């Protein structure tokens, strides 16, 4: 009988980015996640002997031994995973091709909770390997997801990696620190764990499925990690009877109020002005309990409209308020231009099994597609959002902006901008623009606050810059960073900047 062995793996996080999708090699390198959707690059793993990985459906070391034996696991997987930051995780084999990992709370900045996550590795992986991320329901663990659905089995048979994070604890509701824990789990999966067994995760094929509490958690996590220029890209999401609005959940479900009021959760009700933002930022759509209407100023579901999203509920689910949340969020998603389906079935159960897994996998076929049409973005913190890096003017306030690319004239239009101090387009090529040709920007502000617009990958100082058809001095060029900064006073109405290269 095999004895589970405590595995010590480690990962080093260094600050460098992935190439754009068009520039990446077919076997994509991977990186660790940070706020706003950007991943920081993990170190390259030392060479692994060709016999390491999965053989006959069992996880083996480099000499062919079954992991779970007494052999040192780091040596078995190909040598040292040295890490100058000391970020470590523990791993136990818990079943055939299934490994449970744990990251100590001290290793997750801003969380304070340890993270446990269950990973299923395919015996015959697709290379590069898609990743299915499963978000559990209230009171559940990753092992419950394994037991109560066929997603692990079906995903692994397709050659995918399947991961179910705990998200800090069993009743997390996608709260901010829970999302930090999921970030840490995906970072180590992509940067260290998968490469240690000879797999390279596919940067453009991450998919999320969540049930009940996890349905809302999945929608929120994907919406808050929407970066089109770098990192790991979610290419689809499925919301199964999800608690997509935490304020609505609070007022509609009195039994949950003591949990939300706890000091280890939000610490009070959403009506507390000091806590309203905490509830809303972790909701795909903020829904009024009084009117049942979605708040169109705080709907982070707008960040999902470039990918397919499936919403589902059982007609006679004993939790009708979750049906209402799922349907309202779906309708807001469609109102924002998203493409997806709202499905339901004649069932009285509230469980994973009412959702047919095959239907979800049929939707999860496409790889990530960067937005090509008018795109609305809502940022809740500094970071990377839909190809742009946002620095907020004030923290704990939403920062909206809307943008569209017009490649035929090498122009991008940005408007409805609010609460943004700096908006940086690190690489024009990521959004289909040519940095070597004359470049146009049409800008309009929603709040009239001056800001800096930074454009990267400008190899040479422009010969001139015009604003509103007149040469202007409101710009600077940094030859070292190859960045052009436009000092926008935000007072004009759709004034055009022209950069002559």
DSSP string, 310-374: EEEEETT-S-HHHHHHHHHHHHHHHHTT--EEEEEES----SGGGS-HHHHHHHTTSPP----S-
Which residues, listed in sequence order, are joined to residue 497 by a DSSP beta bridge?
A: 441, 467
Show the low-confidence residues of the chain (pLDDT under 70).
1-89, 228-230
How many Cβ atoms from other residues are within 10 Å of residue 204's Cβ? 19
Instruction: Let me know: does 277 contact 246? Beta carbons within 8 Å.
Output: no
For residue 402, the model assigns a pLDDT of 96
Grouping H, G, I as helix, E, B as strand and the rest as coil, residue 67 is coil
Which residues of the chain are in CATH 3.40.50.1820 domains? 110-363
For residue 230, the model assigns a pLDDT of 66
For residue 4, the model assigns a pLDDT of 33
Instruction: Let me know: does 137 contact 171? Beta carbons within 8 Å.
Output: no
Place of tokens 């710009």: 475
Element (H, E) at 465: strand 464-467
**Pair of tokens at residue 435:** 């940095």
For residue 95, the model assigns a pLDDT of 81
How many Cβ atoms from other residues are within 10 Å of residue 349's Cβ? 12
User: pTM of the entire structure?
Assistant: 0.85
Smallest Cα–Cα separation from 380: which of 427, 417, 333, 419? 419
Smallest Cα–Cα separation from 457: which of 395, 398, 501? 501
**What torsion, rounded to 10 degrees, do the Cα atoms 333, 345, 141, 216 define?**
20
Grouping H, G, I as helix, E, B as strand and the rest as coil, residue 500 is strand
Sign for the CA dihedral angle at 173, 175, 179, 181 comes to: negative
For residue 229, the model assigns a pLDDT of 67
**Pair of tokens at residue 458:** 């400008």
Give me the architecture of the 110-363 domain, per CATH.
3-Layer(aba) Sandwich (3.40)
Cα separation, 476 vs 465, whole angstroms: 10
């Amino acid at each position: 009988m095999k004895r589970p062995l405590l595995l010590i793996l480690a990962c080093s996080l260094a600050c460098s980015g992935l190439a754009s999708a068009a520039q990446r090699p077919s076997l994509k390198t991977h990186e660790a996640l940070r706020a706003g959707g950007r991943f920081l690059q993990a170190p390259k793993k030392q060479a692994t002997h060709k016999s390491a990985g999965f053989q006959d459906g069992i996880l083996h070391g480099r000499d062919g031994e079954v992991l779970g034996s007494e052999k040192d696991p780091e040596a078995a997987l190909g040598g040292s995973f040295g890490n100058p930051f000391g970020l470590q995780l523990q791993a136990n084999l818990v079943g055939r091709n299934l490994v449970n990992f744990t990251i100590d709370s001290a290793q997750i900045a801003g969380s304070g909770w340890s993270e446990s996550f269950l990973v299923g590795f395919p015996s015959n992986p697709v290379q590069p390997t898609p990743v299915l991320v499963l978000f559990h329901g209230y009171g559940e663990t990753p092992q419950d997801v394994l037991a109560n659905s066929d997603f692990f089995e079906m995903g692994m048979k397709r050659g995918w990696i399947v991961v179910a994070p705990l998200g800090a604890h069993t009743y997390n509701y996608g709260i901010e620190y829970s999302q930090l824990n999921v970030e840490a789990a995906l970072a180590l999966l992509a940067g260290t764990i998968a490469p240690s067994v000879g797999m390279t995760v596919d940067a453009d094929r991450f998919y999320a499925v969540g049930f009940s509490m996890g349905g809302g958690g999945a929608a929120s996590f994907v919406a808050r990690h929407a970066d089109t220029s770098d990192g790991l890209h979610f290419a689809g999401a499925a919301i199964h009877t999800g608690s997509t609005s935490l304020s609505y959940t609070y007022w509609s479900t009195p039994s949950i109020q003591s949990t939300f009021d706890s000091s280890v959760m939000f610490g009070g009700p959403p009506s507390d002005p000091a806590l309203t933002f905490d509830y809303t930022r972790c909701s795909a759509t903020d829904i009024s309990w009084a009117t049942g209407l979605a708040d169109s100023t705080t709907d982070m579901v707008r960040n999902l409209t470039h990918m397919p999203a499936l919403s589902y509920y059982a007609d006679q689910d004993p939790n009708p308020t979750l049906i209402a949340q799922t349907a309202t969020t779906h309708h807001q998603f469609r109102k924002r231009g998203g493409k997806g389906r709202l499905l339901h079935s004649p069932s009285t159960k509230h469980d994973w099994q009412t959702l047919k897994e095959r239907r979800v996998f049929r939707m999860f076929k496409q790889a990530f597609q960067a937005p090509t049409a008018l795109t609305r973005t809502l940022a809740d913190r500094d970071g990377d959002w839909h190809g742009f890096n946002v620095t907020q003017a004030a923290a704990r306030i939403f920062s909206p902006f809307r943008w569209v690319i017009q490649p035929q004239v090498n122009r991008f239009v940005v408007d409805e901008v609010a609460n943004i101090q700096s908006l940086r387009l690190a690489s024009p090529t990521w959004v289909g623009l040519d940095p070597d040709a004359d470049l146009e920007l049409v800008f309009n502000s929603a709040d009239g606050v001056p800001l800096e617009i930074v454009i990267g990958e400008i190899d040479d100082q422009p010969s001139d810059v015009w604003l509103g058809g007149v040469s202007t001095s409101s710009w600077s060029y940094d030859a070292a960073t190859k960045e052009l900064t436009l000092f926008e006073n935000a007072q004009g109405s759709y004034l055009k900047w022209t950069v002559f290269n």
